[in-house]
Amino acid sequence: MTPEAMIPQTVLPQGATVNGQGHLVIGGCDTLDLADEFGTPVYILDEESLRQKCRRFVQEFQKRHPATQVVYASKAYINPALAKIFAEEGLGLDVVSGGELALAKSVDFPLDQVYFHGNNKSPQELAEAVENNIGWVVLDSFHELEILNAIAGDAGKIQNVLIRVSPGIDPHTHAHTTTGILDSKFGFSIQTGHAAQAIRQTLQAANLSLRGLHFHLGSPIFELEPYRAAVDLVIRFASEFREDGLELKEFSPGGGFAIAYTRDQEPPDVGEYAEAIVSTMISTCQELSMPLPRLIIEPGRSIIGPAGVALYRVGTIKDIPGVRRYVSVDGGMGDNIRPALYQAVYEVIAAGKADQKPSRKVTIAGKYCESGDLLATDIMLPEMETGDIIAIPAAGAYCPSMASNYNLNPRPPMVLVRNGESRLIRRRESYQDMMHCDVV
Ligand SMILES: *Cc1c(COP(=O)(O)O)cnc(C)c1O
């Protein structure tokens, strides 16, 4: 086997390779050099993978339906340098808080390309959205509908809105990340009649302009059928309100596109998701003689997830004879909560021994004071020693964005790599940073 064949290419950024010393190379950079230069834990983002994925989404959807806007879901992970990249790639931005909106504003992201989501936006956040002339607020409750209508009225503005409906379709993913079923805190349920009521009420609201409907089923969704079923159902539902004055000018089936976390996973390609969504939308609209709406696609995980690789350094190794070997690293649930929260499973690569055969079963433990702080359980690696670097691929989404200061560990830096060059886009937190807001 060539060294390249020994690394799980499908979970790594494009062009990942193994150099003559047996080290994992990402974006042309030796990961061991990156670990030395920036310290560990550190999150590496491959800029080329990130940009290519943005372009793939735009191309695959626009070639099937030119009136498609691709909107990056910031909650997967955002910072100012990345927001600039998404703007350069022509993407819009989904935000779910005043903080994400403030970040977009700080880099002059075009705010007319911003969508504001969330099941409990505060009056202050809604006021900030209206004040800043953001493109769309995605209505999620009657409470919000009333507040937003009043805020827009006070500001003398008409706010564009979409209504988030819950179609009652199960995408077969983890319960914590299923959002479009009846028992969900998100959206107006079609089943209960609340979605119908929300449409009528919004059409009556003097200061809101109802542009269309939105749904988001959950994430990650490895199947195409839930998208097909929900697109068809929601467009049919929209058609029932034509006489009430609802024109479906815009339509969004959200995000949730899956990525491979392990070598045995084969999620659909971007083109397959695009085909399922666009062909269903077109055929249902044609059947109902409805004009085709503008389509809004909201990928988060699928854009930034595969571009990210976390690097950790091995510290303590503990053998419990006949039970297991714990290999502890200098990060864990503070920078990646997903194994503890969702039982997420990751590949682990011995970054400095990427050309060596796995020879021993180990469990990778984090450094946090929780027994559940395990990054990977019972995986096969080459013989690991203290000081070795391990890499966890597919770590770009919902890891740094969910990071905490639990145990007062500083959150890790973020480094962008491309063509053998690296650029720090977020420095490591200091102890002072962590105490910055404390009042003595
Ligand atoms: C989280 C979320 C997304 C993005 O989901 P991914 O799985 O990261 O693609 C898109 N739209 C809405 C409304 C969301 O809440």
Atom of ligand 1 nearest to the CA of 76: 8
For the Cβ of 73 lying below 6 angstroms from any atom of ligand 1, the answer is: yes
Atom of ligand 1 nearest to the CA of 96: 15
- Whether residue 342 lies inside any domain: the answer is yes
Query: Among 29, 54, 285, 369, which one carries the catalytic annotation?
Result: 369
- Whether residue 160 lies inside any domain: the answer is yes
Same structural domain, 79 and 216 = yes
* pLDDT value for 416: 98
Same structural domain, 30 and 143 = no
* pLDDT value for 419: 97
pLDDT tens, per residue, the chain with 440 residues: 787 788 999 999 999 999 999 999 999 999 999 999 999 999 999 999 999 999 999 999 999 999 999 999 999 999 999 999 999 999 999 999 999 999 999 999 999 999 999 999 999 999 999 999 999 999 999 999 999 999 999 999 999 999 999 999 988 888 777 777 888 899 999 999 999 999 999 999 999 999 999 999 999 999 999 999 999 999 999 999 999 999 999 999 999 999 999 999 999 999 999 999 999 999 999 999 999 999 999 999 999 999 999 999 999 999 999 999 999 999 999 999 999 999 999 999 999 999 999 999 999 999 999 999 999 999 999 999 999 999 999 999 999 999 999 999 999 999 999 999 999 999 999 999 999 999 99
- Whether residue 290 lies inside any domain: the answer is yes
* pLDDT value for 64: 98
Query: Cα(117) to centroid of ligand 1, in Å?
Result: 10
Structural domain of 199:
48-302
- Whether residue 121 lies inside any domain: the answer is yes
Same structural domain, 80 and 189 = yes
- Whether residue 331 lies inside any domain: the answer is yes
Same structural domain, 141 and 212 = yes
For the Cβ of 254 lying below 6 angstroms from any atom of ligand 1, the answer is: yes
Count how many domains the chain has. Answer: 2
Q: Where among 283, 302, 321 does a domain terminate?
A: 302
Same structural domain, 127 and 192 = yes
* pLDDT value for 180: 76
- Whether residue 440 lies inside any domain: the answer is no
Q: Where among 302, 324, 356 does a domain terminate?
A: 302
Atom of ligand 1 nearest to the CA of 305: 8
CATH code for the domain of 364: 2.40.37.10
Q: What is the pTM of this model?
A: 0.97
SS (H, E, C) the chain: CCHHHHCCHHHCCCCCEECCCCCEEECCEEHHHHHHHHCCCEEEEEHHHHHHHHHHHHHHHHCCCCCEEEEEEHHHCCCHHHHHHHHHCCCEEEECCHHHHHHHHHCCCCHHHEEECCCCCCHHHHHHHHHCCCCEEEECCHHHHHHHHHHHHHHCCCEEEEEEEECCCCCCCCHHHECCCCCCCCCEECCCCHHHHHHHHHHHCCCEEEEEEECCCECCECCCHHHHHHHHHHHHHHHCCCCCCCCCCEEEEECCECCCCCCCCCCCCHHHHHHHHHHHHHHHHHHCCCCCCEEEECCCHHHHCCCEEEEEEEEEEEEECCCEEEEEECCCCCCCCHHHHHCCCCCCEECCCCCCCCCEEEEEECCCCCCCCEEEEEEEECCCCCCCEEEEECCCCCCHHHCCCHHHCCCCCEEEEECCEEEEEECCCCHHHHHCCCCC
* pLDDT value for 176: 77
Same structural domain, 28 and 104 = no
CATH code for the domain of 279: 3.20.20.10
Same structural domain, 187 and 311 = no
For the Cβ of 76 lying below 6 angstroms from any atom of ligand 1, the answer is: yes
Told to judge if 285 belongs to the known catalytic residues of this protein, a careful annotator would answer no
Same structural domain, 291 and 324 = no
- Whether residue 263 lies inside any domain: the answer is yes
* pLDDT value for 172: 86
Mutation test of ligand 1: which of 75, 176, 259 has the most ligand atoms closer than 8 Å to its C-beta?
A: 75
Same structural domain, 199 and 219 = yes
Q: Where among 250, 271, 302 does a domain terminate?
A: 302
- Whether residue 180 lies inside any domain: the answer is yes
Same structural domain, 85 and 217 = yes
Same structural domain, 62 and 159 = yes
* pLDDT value for 174: 80
For the Cβ of 297 lying below 6 angstroms from any atom of ligand 1, the answer is: no
Same structural domain, 26 and 158 = no
